[in-house]
Amino acid sequence: MTTNFRSLLFLLSTFIVASAGSANAQTINNSKLGKGLQFVAADSSFSVKLGARFQVLYQGGYTPVTKQWEDRFVIRRARLKLEGFAYSPKLQYKIELGLSNNDIGNDTPDQTDNASNIVLDAVAKWEITPGLQLYIGQTKLPGNRERLVSSQKMQFVDRSLLNSRFTLDRDAGLQLHHEHEVGQVVLREIVSVSTGDGRNITVNHSGGYDYTGRFEILPFGAFEGEGDYVGSDIYREPTPKLAIAAAYDINDRASREQGQTGDFLSGERDLNTLFLDAMFKYRGFSAMAEYVDRKAPDGPVVLVNEDNEIEETFVTGNAFNVQAGYLFLNNWEVAGRYTNYEPAKATGLTPEKQYTLGVSKYIVGHALKVQSDLTRSKQSGRPERYQARVQLEIGF
């Protein structure tokens, strides 16, 4: 355990003990499973909500040709989150740390100063006027809906192949969020400017910047509990609700193979990405669809060896994902998902289709649940593969 990590744990432990022991200076409210521990200063000058969650995952895979079963049992995610306001309720903040090996894992040591990749979110949110907020710091970019849905609130054990290949993920910079209503119709506009390099990069900025815009329309009004960014219809919408969105991202002179994620390459390319998505919910039924198309106008391939084999390329192409499920009154859910990934031919990457069947039990919503799914994967010219997963999620 590194010195920095030990210091972090010590500071967090000190904060929890001090907060719990200062009953005269703090008040506690809404403390129940999934809501975290909430504290408000006696003079209302700041607030803190402390939350934690983890996912325990069993994953196994089988290839019929080799007749081999390979499996693992891991802590998929372990997260610690602090959020609240400082000085005024109009200035909010969020800090989220990833503590599992999967969260901390770092394949870019030269760019992160050989440090653990712990910080997920560190962002301040200033309410300029009602409905208009300025984000400053590191957080998720306004790209595809599946990525914007928290990993705690997903309908399946994990996100789809579309997301793993094309998501914008997190980045550091500025975002402007605007929301207003026209009758019952809710409209949202988001624009952002960020470094384009991804999270926790400490070396000098490379390439250009990243520019993202997202527009959303909810024609039948807002979802219960912001359910347009929650997997499954756990709130059982009494009337049909629909959210439709489009986003466009320009990563100027990107230096990583997937924009904000993946390996740093020896060359740079402009990456232009279009996202289209929709979410529908009604009385326990939910459906979500996404389409993404990414292009590199100057060509995605960066390096070819003497044998004319591609050694470095940006991930471009398109993908489509659709999923739907029904949540029964006993809080069991059955869901299905289909994903089609088509990389650009110039990249030399292999197209893939995935078919997933999921079964979940929501004990206390997304705060305490057991999820399982079975996936069949088909890649061109390769044998089919099967994957089975079971995951327990506990959030405080």
DSSP track, 208-224: --EEEEEEEEETT-PPG
Query: Does residue 7 register a pLDDT over 90?
Result: no
- What does the pLDDT read at residue 244? 98
Instruction: Point out the least confidently predicted range of 32-36, 81-85, 168-172, 193-197.
Output: 32-36
For the chain, list the domains and their CATH numbers.
Answer: 46-395 (2.40.160.10)
Residue pair 216/181 in contact (Cβ under 8 Å)? The answer is no
What percentage of the chain carries pLDDT values higher than 90? Answer: 80
Q: What's the whole-number mean pLDDT along residues 308-329?
A: 97
- The residue that leads in pLDDT, 266 or 29, is 266
Q: Which residues contact 355 (CB under 8 A, 6 or more apart)?
A: 336, 337, 338, 375, 376
Per-residue pLDDT band at 12 (split at 50, 70, 90): low
Rounded distance between C-alpha atoms, residue 238 and residue 228, angstroms: 14
Instruction: Point out the least confidently predicted range of 52-61, 148-157, 206-215.
Output: 206-215
Q: What's the whole-number mean pLDDT along residues 165-172?
A: 96
